[in-house]
Amino acid sequence: DVIVRGKENGEGMIIRYQTTKGTDIFGLGIPNIYMDTDWDLGPTWCYLVLGHKTTLIDTGRFGNFQVFETLLNSVGKEFSDIDRIIITHSHEDHDGNLAEIISAAQAELWAHEIYRQMISYHPDIKDGAKHPELPGSCRLCVMPEKFHNNCLPYQKKRSALSIDFAINDHQTVPHDDL
């Protein structure tokens, strides 16, 4: 079901899927735009799974916390309703709002073990990159200033996070409380 139509490219759209067992899953279309560019990447789809514990899969692009909150409220939910957040991978369109949502929800963070390395500060790495003053996996690279100004705050916020449940390759994730 389409709950909210949103834009033609899917941004702001909310869809609902119900499994054969009656579990509601909401897809939230979070904008994935870079300011002052003509890139139309379409939304990042984040999924809210309503089960015994409410699970959010991905948090959308950095800078869209208010948009996320509005979409969440549109399905009758608040951040405090989220018990667990699962991050699929370490790109800012998938974990960009994580620090703010974790704080607002007081939820557990579940992610692959490699994610811990992506968000941790590693001053001892001798890879030739200029990074000792930068957080997490951030490296000083050549990019337009508008991107750098977005990237650094994103990296700083996520480098303060910690994983509550590390998912490893070939591991069976507990599903009794999903």
Q: Find, among 135, 130, 137, the residue nearest to 157 by Cα.
A: 135
Over pLDDT 90: what percentage of the chain? 54
- The answer to whether the CB of 72 falls within 8 A of the CB of 28 is yes
The reply to whether 136 falls in a domain is: no
Separation CA 131–CA 138 (nearest Å): 7
DSSP string across 51-117: SSS-EEE---STT-HHHHHHHHHHTT--GGG--EEEE-SS-HHHHTTHHHHHHHHT-EEEEEHHHHH
pTM: 0.85
178 in any annotated domain: no
Spatial CB neighbours of 67, under 8 Å, sequence gap ≥ 6: 12, 30, 31, 60
Q: Which range among 2-11, 83-92, 119-128 shows the weakest confidence by mean pLDDT? A: 119-128
Q: What is the CATH number of the domain that holds 47?
A: 3.60.15.10
Range of the domain at 100: 2-120+160-167
Whether 127 maps to a domain, the answer reads no
Report residue 92's pLDDT band, with 50, 70 and 90 as the boundaries: confident
**Does 19 reside within a domain?**
yes
What is the rounded average pLDDT for all residues in the chain? 85
**In angstroms, rounded to a whole number, what is the distance separating the alpha carbons of residues 21 and 119?**
36
Residue 71 inside a domain? The answer is yes
Q: Which of 7-11, 75-79, 131-135 has the lowest mean pLDDT?
A: 131-135
| Residue 44 domain flag | yes
| 48 falls within a domain | yes
Is 80 within a domain? yes
User: Which has the minimum average pLDDT: 62-66, 101-105, 135-139, 158-162?
Assistant: 135-139
Domain count, the chain: 1
DSSP code of residue 128: S
Query: What digits encode the pLDDT tens for the residues 102-115?
Result: 999 999 999 998 88
Name residue 26's beta-bridge partners.
16, 48
